[in-house]
Amino acid sequence: MLRELASYALGMAEGFGASYIEARVQRISYESLLMDNGVLKEFSRTSSVGLGVRALYNGGFGFSSTNAMDRESVRDTVSKAVSAARASKQVGRLAERNVQRGTFISVGKKRPEDISEGDKVDLLVNINRAGLSVEGIKSAVTRLGIQRDWRYIITSDGVELEYESSLLGIAHASVALEAGAMEIVGDQKSATAGWEFIEDKNWEEFSMDISKLAKEAVKAPLPPSGKLRIVADPEMVGLILHEAFGHACEGDFVASGSSILSGKLGGTVASPIVTVVDDGLVEGGYFVPFDDEGNLKKRTVVVENGVLRNFLTGREEASRLDLPVSGNSRAQDFRHFPIIRQTNFFMTQGDHDLEEMIREAKEGIYISGRGSKGGEVDPGSGTFTFSAGPSKIIRNGELAELVRGVVISGIILETLRGVEAVGRNLRISTSAFGGCGKGDQLARVGDGGPHVMIKELIVGGG
């Protein structure tokens, strides 16, 4: 029925005078269980069905959406998309498409929907109990998140694409109390997979390790304030790249002139040992086979040996920037129009061992992603910031004491130029509990890289 309604929307293009229509129908569900200090505080399930229509009328794009899935509402939605287009600028030429038809499925082996509610609750009870069993832990929260997303896109220029994915993960946070001071450490592990991802891991060990780190962190001092040499673990590298560089590569920011990388294509923007790619299909990352205007998401080499080679684009940005379509025009769901987003944005491997980096760093800080809350960038001023989890000071080329409350800040273009060493290992991860916010939309993304040493960043401490 949903496919029929999408076709019905498409069939009305001519009647409303639209020169192009793209119709997206979606069925998305999210299940969330939350175990808080041994008590199940939340067992919720959300499901949505809806239609999003983008219409090109008189050269301008308009968007409308509805979740009333009947013909009259669909007709009203197309009419509103056309009406919205009257208020928009002329988009000019759209770049050539890179795909017409395809079906892409990544749902793993065991359907999470087939696992009983009781088994899911038992799993969380055990993880939460293990987290609370560590002495000094005052509070522990464990979450299970399961998303299933089905999208079907058809366009009036012949695209027909279908997609289904399963994303799930477990998150845990422990709060330690010592001598009146409290500290929280949280972490999560997620994958585009089936229930086998949950069965293959020792989650009690996961929550106990978090609790042990929280217990250690509550006693730890704040780091010294000021400039420090940084060795970052793969999770931190992912965050730095995403915030400090990825957003500036988004073609809409570049085309409007708000990115600090506007006009720098072909120029050196990073140390020669840095190569950065955006790839929709990568081990450990989120599953993005195509974007929401119906473009195949290809592996895009953004920086090659320090030189800026590409930006992330949809059809409009590709045309404006004279680049190929990279397939990055993504919408949070059927309620939103597509905007340029990263998919899995990461740095490729280098030749250093972590031990070598710590030794070469001599003095600085080894920042860890476990316990980080994320980051933010102001692309216009070039300033970015992120928080790290409990991290270790590097002294005389060795790891020394643990510090907490680490917040890092830097300037976009200085950061990648300051990369002094890149590690051999590569780790990419995604999350079933959050994503990247841009405008009013949240997108699931993946990020990561190897360990990396950076000459200096600002550390906020005490």
Partner 1 sequence: MNIEKVVRRAIELGASEAEAMLLKSSETSLKLSDVVEASKHIKIASLGVRVAVGKSTAVVGTRDISEDGIEKAVGSAVSIAKVSPQDPYWVSMNRNIGFTRIGDLFDKDTAEAPPEQLLPLAKELLGSVKEGCSEAKPVDGLITASSAEVVYANAYGGPVEWKETTAVLYVEARVDEAGSVGNYSDFDISRGLGGLKAREIGLNVGSKAKVFVKAGSIGTDRYELILLNDVSNSIVPVMLAPAISAFNVQQGRSPLAEKVGTSIMSEQITIEDLGASANVLGASPFDGEGFPTRNLIVVERGVLNTFLYDTYTANREGKESTGNASRNYDSSPRPSPHHLFIKPGSATLEEMIRETKNGIFVARTIGQWLSNPISGHMNATITHAYMVRNGELTEPVKNGVISGDFYETFKDGLEVIGNDIKQSSGVSTPSLKFRNILIASK
| Closer residue to partner 1, CB minimum distance, 185 or 357 | 185
In the numeric block, which tokens belong to residue 275? 């190569």
Task: Decide if residue 257 touches partner 1 (CB under 8 A).
Answer: yes
State the residue for tokens 């080679």: 309
Among residues 50, 285, 327, 435, which is the contact residue for partner 1, using CB under 8 A? 50
Of the candidates 400, 456, 396, the residue with the CA atom closest to the CA atom of residue 221: 400
Binding residues for partner 1, total number by CB under 8 A? 85
| Closer residue to partner 1, CB minimum distance, 138 or 395 | 138
Identity of the residue numbered 202: N
Task: Decide if residue 41 touches partner 1 (CB under 8 A).
Answer: yes
Task: Decide if residue 256 touches partner 1 (CB under 8 A).
Answer: yes
Cα angle 387, 280, 65; round to 5: 90
Q: How far is the CB of 339 from partner 1 (least distance, A)?
A: 8
State the residue for tokens 């993960």: 169
Task: Compose the 61-100 pattern: x for residues touching partner 1 by CB under 8 A, - for all others.
Answer: xxxxxxxxx----------xx-xxxxxxx-----------
Q: How far is the CB of 176 from partner 1 (least distance, A)?
A: 10
Q: How far is the CB of 348 from partner 1 (least distance, A)?
A: 27
Stretch that binds partner 1, among 15-23, 190-198, 254-262, 285-293 (CB under 8 A): 254-262
Q: How far is the CB of 251 from partner 1 (least distance, A)?
A: 13
Of the candidates 203, 187, 205, 186, the residue with the CA atom closest to the CA atom of residue 134: 205
| Closer residue to partner 1, CB minimum distance, 95 or 407 | 407
Do 175 and 138 touch, CB atoms closer than 8 A? yes
Do 264 and 271 touch, CB atoms closer than 8 A? no
Stretch that binds partner 1, among 100-108, 291-299, 335-343, 444-452 (CB under 8 A): 335-343
| Closer residue to partner 1, CB minimum distance, 49 or 281 | 49
Stretch that binds partner 1, among 47-55, 229-237, 305-313, 358-366 (CB under 8 A): 47-55
* Residues from 295 through 324 that contact partner 1 (CB under 8 A): none
Among residues 71, 373, 401, 424, which is the contact residue for partner 1, using CB under 8 A? 373
Distance in angstroms (rounded) separating the CA atoms of residues 276 and 317: 20
Q: How far is the CB of 102 from partner 1 (least distance, A)?
A: 26
Task: Decide if residue 266 touches partner 1 (CB under 8 A).
Answer: no
| Closer residue to partner 1, CB minimum distance, 160 or 178 | 178
Task: Decide if residue 433 touches partner 1 (CB under 8 A).
Answer: no
Q: How far is the CB of 350 from partner 1 (least distance, A)?
A: 27
Among residues 4, 71, 100, 182, which is the contact residue for partner 1, using CB under 8 A? 182
| Closer residue to partner 1, CB minimum distance, 31 or 279 | 31
* Residues from 114 through 153 that contact partner 1 (CB under 8 A): 116-118, 121, 125, 138-139, 141
Cα angle 367, 372, 378; round to 5: 95
Contacts of 53 (CB under 8 A, 6+ apart): 9, 21, 22, 23, 24, 63, 64, 65, 74, 77, 78, 81
Stretch that binds partner 1, among 96-104, 225-233, 273-281, 306-314 (CB under 8 A): 225-233
* Residues from 378 through 417 that contact partner 1 (CB under 8 A): 378, 380-387, 404-405, 407, 409-411
Distance in angstroms (rounded) separating the CA atoms of residues 443 and 121: 28
| Closer residue to partner 1, CB minimum distance, 88 or 106 | 88
| Closer residue to partner 1, CB minimum distance, 261 or 452 | 261
Task: Decide if residue 111 touches partner 1 (CB under 8 A).
Answer: no
Q: How far is the CB of 227 from partner 1 (least distance, A)?
A: 6
Residue 311 C-alpha from the chain's centroid: 17
Distance in angstroms (rounded) separating the CA atoms of residues 315 and 327: 8
| Closer residue to partner 1, CB minimum distance, 41 or 71 | 41
Stretch that binds partner 1, among 7-15, 152-160, 248-256, 279-287 (CB under 8 A): 248-256
* Residues from 226 through 245 that contact partner 1 (CB under 8 A): 226-227
Task: Decide if residue 196 touches partner 1 (CB under 8 A).
Answer: no
* Residues from 341 through 360 that contact partner 1 (CB under 8 A): none
Distance in angstroms (rounded) separating the CA atoms of residues 462 and 459: 10
